[in-house]
Structure 1
Amino acid sequence: MSSLHKSRIADFQDVLKEPTIALEKLRELSFSGIPCEGGLRCLCWKILLNYLPLERASWTSILAKQRELYSQFLREMIIQPGIAKANMGVSREDVTFEDHPLNPNPDSRWNTYFRDNEVLLQIDKDVRRLCPDISFFQRATEYPCLLILDPQNEFETLRKRVEQTTLKSQTVARNRSGVTNMSSPHKNSASSSLNKYELLPNGCEAHWEVVERILFIYAKLNPGIAYVQGMNEIVGPLYYTFATDPNSEWKEHAEADTFFCFTNLMAEIRDNFIKSLDDSQCGITYKMEKVYSTLKDKDAELYLKLQEQNIKPQFFAFRWLTLLLSQEFLLPDVIRIWDSLFADDNRFDFLLLVCCAMLILIREQLLEGDFTVNMRLLQDYPITDVCQILQKAKELQDSQ
């Protein structure tokens, strides 16, 4: 480890041990990348995403309260209809029509259960193929949900629920840009055999199952947006970061902590996922056009070239912006980019500059290429050095 790197770690530790965290100092340090040693990134992300407050003294009580709240969500939202009464000693004869699967009332628990399954099947399909370039999400977590291990709980695992249902999943608001390719070329290179999963024994859970549960609870608590394809790519890097932390306590509670950090992050970017807001000033169309207007200001020649070829920003920037570049780079590089994005005090304005930098860094290829070549470049971005991209984006920011 270089002396410079040791110095950076010490700088973070100095900021994080203060009774009240100096947020601007933490942002400044994090913007240049958070060291992975000592669980620093895990802690910094929790602060930057407003899960932990700036006052250190309140961390323990807040974490305990939030983790218990998440356990309550699981108990209330995943136990299937009828089971709760069985747990309370209610016999089959005492089950009312309200509890019957054929109850036509649209608000009955069984109808809700069946509607939930339609969303669950889409979530299940997406999380099973999460980050196929690494094996992490297919491996068993050291900390499966305690409700599964408790013999007193008739807790239904979502994996089993998916296996048992024969419902056809409805299409859930897919890519609205007109481009059907939502997957990354990097990730497409993974073996197609990933569809064949090794079943884990009872009492064990794969990491993708934990992510599935997080997304399901989020969809239940946020019916206005529910689940939209692509959210799995947002929650994946968060959960991976928390679940691989060297601190065993952080790892043990990675599910609950990820849920609340994901919820806070979605509160800031959820407009990207709401189709009715696409053309509003907070919607994704406005942000894509902002990438082009920034490019026009920074590199008019390249902007005109893309305009002449009728390469619209939604052909590539839709995915870049909506998924915070999580499908354009490999996971360690995505995490490094997110250090800078989470540290941005203007909350993702820097992302627009990163997208603009990505275009400028391949300007010579784009100026020489025709429509087909350029579309391939933009949908399979060729530069893998994210530090180079972030440095260029910072130059653009400083020149404004």
Structure 2
Amino acid sequence: HSEELRKHSWSGIPREVRPVTWRLLSGYLPANRERRDLVLQRKREEYFGFIEQYYNSRTDENHRDTYRQIHIDIPRTNPLIPLFQQPLVQEVFERILFIWAIRHPASGYVQGINDLVTPFFVAFLSEFVEEDVENFEMASLPLDTQRNIEADSFWCMSKLLDGIQDNYTFAQPGIQIKVKALEELVSRIDEDVHVHFQKCEVEYLQFAFRWMNNLLMRELPLRCTIRLWDTYQAESEGFSHFHLYVCAAFLIKWRKEILSMLDFQSLLMLLQNLPTIHWGNEEVGLLLAEAYRLKYMFADAPSHYKR
């Protein structure tokens, strides 16, 4: 049953069933239909219990820095999308992130986590919005609906972070390891690109840290991230292992542009501002297909295996 769902979701989920599908794929909703309403009600109540229990402590001395950092980061999340400039929406994000941080003292809040709420929030909001979600007035929804979207976003983001938590602990070892793995992978897939980076003295950390920390969200339009996450949630270890191959495919996609940049400055400028603004489902679909091919070819291949 859930295998079937994963198989169908891999190549993109239709907008109207995305909210329920994402809740199922992230393990938040039980597959058993009879239990769903009960579980949702219980989890939503639990989240608002956390709010009552913890949210007033955001001004306490030991939590003040966490809250301040979140408060500074929220306006920087998707600065070009009007939805996220609404005070009401920013407060939702502040609550979600603060509660998550308090409940995960090992990592606490790290910049980058703020981006991970966005796709869930937009997917769950789109259940109630016919037209353009990015310009929607959150305040026009009934309070109950607002609260449900908030709680569901919190739980689904938490489930996602459970799988990549070492990306956000002190010194972010998970990200260091993944960037290293990307470098090793690219050196095997496309030696020209790899050598070109060395020649220009560009290090993978200088551009790929952000690719891992924000799951490519800063490189793609939001609609593309949401489509990408359909596949990430359907793929086992989608947000960790498969993401690596997506990053490799993404990098190689720009090989012509990369090889035409002949110095450190222009190469880094290119890599930090890749021209994806007009991307849609088609481009993401091609990227995922290429990532899948790379994974199949290189995942367990010995290091000496070259194209």
Length-normalised TM-score, structure 2: 0.84
The answer to whether the Cα contact below 8 Å between 1:27 and 1:345 also exists between their aligned partners in 2 is no
1:253 counterpart residue number: 148
Query: How far does residue 58 in structure 1 lie from its aligned partner after superposition?
Result: 1.6
**Counterpart residue identity of residue 170, structure 2:** K
Post-superposition CA distance 1:269-299 (Å, at most 9, x none): 1211123452xxxx21211111122212221
Q: Among residues 66, 70, 73, which one is paired with 2:50 in the alignment?
A: 73
Post-superposition CA distance 1:34-74 (Å, at most 9, x none): 1112xx11111112211112222221111111111112111
Q: Among residues 302, 308, 311, which one is paired with 2:202 in the alignment?
A: 311
Q: Among residues 17, 29, 34, which one is paired with 1:57 in the alignment?
A: 34
User: Are 2:106 and 1:215 equivalent residues in the alignment?
Assistant: no
User: Are 2:266 and 1:373 equivalent residues in the alignment?
Assistant: yes
Between the aligned partners of 1:223 and 1:65, the Cα distance in structure 2 is 24
User: Are 2:25 and 1:25 equivalent residues in the alignment?
Assistant: no
What's the Cα RMSD here? 2.1
Post-superposition CA distance 1:103-154 (Å, at most 9, x none): xxxxxxx9x8122222111111111232122111234xxxxxxxxxxxxxxx
Query: How far does residue 225 in structure 1 lie from its aligned partner after superposition?
Result: 1.3
The answer to whether the Cα contact below 8 Å between 1:136 and 1:207 also exists between their aligned partners in 2 is yes
Output aligned runs, 1:28-47, within 5 Å. 28-37=7-16, 40-47=17-24
Tell me: CA distance 1:251–1:23, structure 2 relative to 1, closer, same or farther (3 Å). farther
Gap runs ≥5 in structure 1? 1-21, 81-109, 140-204
Between the aligned partners of 1:386 and 1:293, the Cα distance in structure 2 is 24
The answer to whether the Cα contact below 8 Å between 2:107 and 2:170 also exists between their aligned partners in 1 is no
Output aligned runs, 1:1-400, within 5 Å. 22-37=1-16, 40-79=17-56, 113-139=60-86, 206-246=88-128, 252-276=147-171, 278=173, 283-347=174-238, 348-370=240-262, 371-383=264-276, 384=279, 385-400=283-298
Between the aligned partners of 1:221 and 1:373, the Cα distance in structure 2 is 42
Tell me: CA distance 1:216–1:66, structure 2 relative to 1, closer, same or farther (3 Å). same
Between the aligned partners of 1:353 and 1:333, the Cα distance in structure 2 is 17
Length-normalised TM-score, structure 1: 0.65
Gap runs ≥5 in structure 2? 130-140, 299-307
The answer to whether the Cα contact below 8 Å between 2:107 and 2:169 also exists between their aligned partners in 1 is yes
Tell me: CA distance 1:70–1:222, structure 2 relative to 1, closer, same or farther (3 Å). same
Between the aligned partners of 1:342 and 1:377, the Cα distance in structure 2 is 30
Between the aligned partners of 2:29 and 2:236, the Cα distance in structure 1 is 16
Query: How far does residue 308 in structure 1 lie from its aligned partner after superposition?
Result: 2.6
**Counterpart residue identity of residue 19, structure 2:** C
2:138 counterpart residue number: none
2:216 match: secondary structure: coil
1:253 match: secondary structure: helix
Between the aligned partners of 1:367 and 1:128, the Cα distance in structure 2 is 36
The answer to whether the Cα contact below 8 Å between 1:211 and 1:239 also exists between their aligned partners in 2 is no
**Counterpart residue identity of residue 36, structure 2:** W
Between the aligned partners of 1:296 and 1:27, the Cα distance in structure 2 is 31
2:76 match: secondary structure: coil
Between the aligned partners of 2:55 and 2:260, the Cα distance in structure 1 is 55
Post-superposition CA distance 1:79-125 (Å, at most 9, x none): 46xxxxxxxxxxxxxxxxxxxxxxxxxxxxx9x81222221111111
Identity %: 34
The answer to whether the Cα contact below 8 Å between 1:23 and 1:54 also exists between their aligned partners in 2 is yes
Moved more, 304-313 or 24-33: 304-313
Between the aligned partners of 2:145 and 2:285, the Cα distance in structure 1 is 28
Moved more, 298-307 or 349-358: 298-307
Between the aligned partners of 1:284 and 1:128, the Cα distance in structure 2 is 24
The answer to whether the Cα contact below 8 Å between 2:74 and 2:93 also exists between their aligned partners in 1 is yes
Between the aligned partners of 2:291 and 2:145, the Cα distance in structure 1 is 32
**Counterpart residue identity of residue 77, structure 2:** L
